[in-house]
Structure 1
Amino acid sequence: MRTALRSFIRIATTVAVSLVAVAVTAQTVLDSPELYAGEKTLYEAAKKEGMVVSFDTGPTWANWAAEFAAFKKRYPEVEIVYNDIGSGATVVALDKARNRPQADTAYYFAASGIDAVSAFVVNTKLVKNVPQSWADLLKPEYKNTIVYLDPRSTGVGQVVAFAANFGMGGDMNNLQPGLDYFAKLHQSGNVLRVLGTTPYAQFVKGEIPIWISYENDGLKAKYTDGLGDAVAVVIPKEASAAAPYAISLVEKGPNPSAGKLWLNFIMSDMGQGIFAQGFVRPSVPGVKLPDNVADKLPAAPQVRPLRRQRERNDR
């Protein structure tokens, strides 16, 4: 299974990520009720450390910019330092520095703080007929139009690869349909580029016809950045995949109390609600999507959560 997965990720290729900032109304922890028992005591300990180092939480993805702002307002004496190096690079960096870790927390494709769904994000000014399926992407009319992120280096790319595999009839134990599909897609000449970093800015500028990414990228472009009807967000009709993303505390990190404070905030109802405003789907049970967000998310009964696929395989 692991050999096949490595082969799949090596041969298949890519999508991307970015997201939205919202107005933040959080009060400081000292001026408001605790989000959880012991929050104020933990803040006092975190103040002595003064900062938290958060790996792979770039501000344009999953509404991290709004999370940073809300955290800083609630805990004004704890600074946030972050980077945006990608899931694969994060794992490598953590492994290399395991004896003297630099990070307090790390965020990556795993299980699970939010769920993100693979989708086609289409510029309708550049694409006359919006593709509705993985099969449609193979049509000659889409030559040199498709962009996605590299699954060898990005969690987003891996999820797109799994989504295509599911769409072609594969599953976590049968990756060949996905491998065959990506071979056909590249042979068709329809792939414009495979990238290592998110091309959100290029998409908004009108430089990318079809971007296989997460639905939140398209919804952000459509509703937050003003593209409106010039953007179509399509969950492929055969099947897609929902990516579980995790944030974890780094063992022996330099600022353990601040790391716990940051992690607890993200997983609180307040933190999960901020994610929801960025058009990603919170995975913490009981967190209700705001009406103005829920109304905009595509219905997606064909989506298969990778987390559940793994659970079935583990039994």
Structure 2
Amino acid sequence: MHSSLTRRGVARAASALALAGLAAASLAACSGSAAAGGTSSIPKASAQVATSAAAFGGMKGLVAAAEAEGHLNVITLPPSWANYGKIIAGFEKKYPGITITSQTPNGSSADEVAAIKSQGSGSNAPDVVDIGTAVLDANTDLFTPYKVASWNDIPTADKDPNGLWYYDYTGLMSIGYDSSKVAAPTKLDDLLGSGYKGKVAIKGDPTQANEAASAVYLAAVQDGGSADDIQPGIDFFGKLKKAGNFISVLPTQATVNSGQTPVVIQWSFNNVAWGAAGGSSGNPNWKTVILPGTAIGSYYNQSISKTAPHPAAARLWEEYLYSPEVQNLYLAAGAYPAELAAMQKAGTVDTATLKSVGEPPSNLVQLTADQAGKAADLLKSGWSKAVG
């Protein structure tokens, strides 16, 4: 359990982010000799408790074991989220013998946990999760330790000392808006105005989804609250609902393009991806605003299911995510990777991308695990009363 560790993080996205394109690069690991669906040299029971690649005899053995399994199940990873479309494609290109099944792409952290609990070790059960802190903290018994080869490049406070979880990336809470439909908000209270009636959405239920909860945290710190007191954030959404401006619609690229959700409070990397940076699928009128004053960030966590049906592939996936190539792909989406400081020191960060995204800010608030837990309790008791 990691409730006592401080949740440090860095995040920033400018409203005029010009994100550099970054091609998915291959992971520098030896390819194994086992064919997909073949026989691994390590029993599944051993793979499920392996805490490093050394348990497979090194990376070559891990690759062979993963290719023998032939499959990997991921969950709640939309292609536009933190560059996961390119990341998944890069993994399958590097390891063509492993097929990725991406489940419930628009789901929440709670959906990840529910899938593991309901499916256990079934063939369709999630192997790995990309999960918010509060939900992870309440379900640590579902996960198993593993330390990637670049373990020392992840800051000490950003990982469980035994390898049960580790930060992957963070964004910054931002307001995305369709500039052809609404005026640019310059402060939180602008969203209470008549010009935003029936137009403001967040990414799901704050009692279930970390991104939605973080929108409430942003409202709290922008409206007299703090990480220790998110009640002002709940109260703000109550006022937003009373004004007729808050809508209970799950926003997606499609709802943005159709005009159903002209204003969305969500992570900076998602708002940026839904605009011009999204290419032909994006909305050229979609802009991103980072409100002045206190900012909210929140690292997501990687962890491996204790009952993963493809335990070797799950571990190979983590090795892939924490390679410089994929950490740079996170960065290219405007999501600051956990290994950024180490990559800057080693010279492996994509400097052009970092320049376009900007250096991480110093005025970032990130809830500790204890604060997130208390905030979750308050949301459970007060959210439906405020917006119901």
Deviation per residue, 1:24-77 (Å, 9 max, x gap): 34278447xxxx983222101111111111222232322111111111122222
Match of 1:96 among 118, 121, 132: 118
Contact 1:149–1:194 under 8 Å retained in 2: no
Partner in structure 2 of residue 253 of structure 1: 308
Separation in 2, partners of 1:20, 1:159:
26
Q: Does the 8 Å contact 1:108/1:246 carry over to 2?
A: yes
* Shift, 1:81, TM fit: 1.5
Q: 1:134 to 1:153 in 2, by over 3 A?
A: same
- For 2:101, the equivalent position in structure 1 comes to 81
What residue number does 1:141 align with?
A: 195
Q: Pairwise CA RMSD of aligned residues? A: 3.0
- Quick check: 1:183 aligned with 2:238? yes
Partner of 1:13: none
Aligned equivalents of 2:318 and 2:199: distance in 1?
Answer: 39
Q: Quick one: structure 1 residues 303 and 138, their matched pair in 2 at CA, closer, same or farther if it must change by over 3 Å?
A: farther
Counting only pairs closer than 5 Å after superposition, residues 86-165 of structure 1 correspond to structure 2 as 86-98=108-120, 102-110=125-133, 112-127=167-182, 129-150=183-204, 151-165=206-220
Identity %: 21
Question: Is the strand fraction higher in 1 or 2?
Answer: 1
| 1:224 partnered with 2:292 | no
Contact residue 46 and residue 258 of structure 1 kept, 8 A: yes
Q: How far apart are 1:276 and its partner, in Å?
A: 1.5
Asked if residue 305 in structure 1 is aligned to residue 366 in structure 2, the reply is yes
Shift of 1:206: 4.2
Aligned to 2:149: none
Per-residue deviation, 1:232 = 2.4
Q: For the structure 1 residues 152 and 294, does the alpha-carbon distance in structure 2 shift closer, same or farther, using more than 3 Å as the test? A: farther
Any idea what SS the aligned residue of 1:225 has?
helix
Distance 1:177 1:298, change over 3 A: farther
Secondary structure of the corresponding residue to residue 292 of structure 2: coil
Give the aligned residue type for 1:219: V
Deviation of the 1:222 alpha carbon: 2.8
Corresponding residue number in structure 2 for 1:57: 77
Secondary structure of the 2:187 match is coil
Structure 1: which amino acid aligns with 2:89? A
How far residue 207 of structure 1 moved from its aligned partner, in angstroms, is 4.2
Q: Over residues 119-141 of structure 1, what are the superposed CA-to-partner deviations in whole Å (9 max), with x where a residue is unaligned?
A: 011111112x3111212212233
Structure 2 vs 1, CA of residues 308 and 93 (structure 1 numbering), >3 Å: closer, same or farther?
closer
Q: Which of 68, 75, 99 matches 2:88? A: 68
Unaligned runs of 5+ in 1: 1-18
The aligned runs of 1:18-57 (5 Å cut-off) are 23-26=23-26, 29-30=29-30, 38-57=58-77
State the alpha-carbon separation in 1 of the partners of residues 131 and 311 from structure 2. Answer: 19
For residues 209 and 338 of structure 2, the distance between their equivalents in structure 1, rounded to whole angstroms, comes to: 21
Distance 2:359 2:198 in 1: 26
CA distance in 1, matches of 2:359, 2:202: 20
Change (3 A) 1:22 1:53: same
Distance in 2 separating the partners of 1:228 and 1:253: 38
With over 3 angstroms needed to count, the CA separation of the structure-2 counterparts of 1:80 and 1:113, relative to structure 1, is same
**CA, structure 1 residues 245+21, in 2 after alignment: closer, same or farther (shift >3 Å)?**
farther
The answer to which of 57-66 and 288-297 deviates more is: 288-297
Q: Is the 8 Å Cα contact of residues 235 and 298 (structure 1) preserved in structure 2?
A: no
Cα distance in 2 between the residues matched to 1:279 and 1:309: 27
Scaled by the length of structure 2, the TM-score of the pair is: 0.66
Q: Tell me if structure 1 keeps the 8 A contact 2:176–2:286.
A: yes
Maintained 8 Å contact 1:114/1:244: yes
For these two proteins, the number of residue pairs brought into alignment is: 287
2:227 maps to which residue?
172
What is the letter of the counterpart of residue 186 of structure 1? K
Q: Secondary structure at the match of 1:189?
A: coil
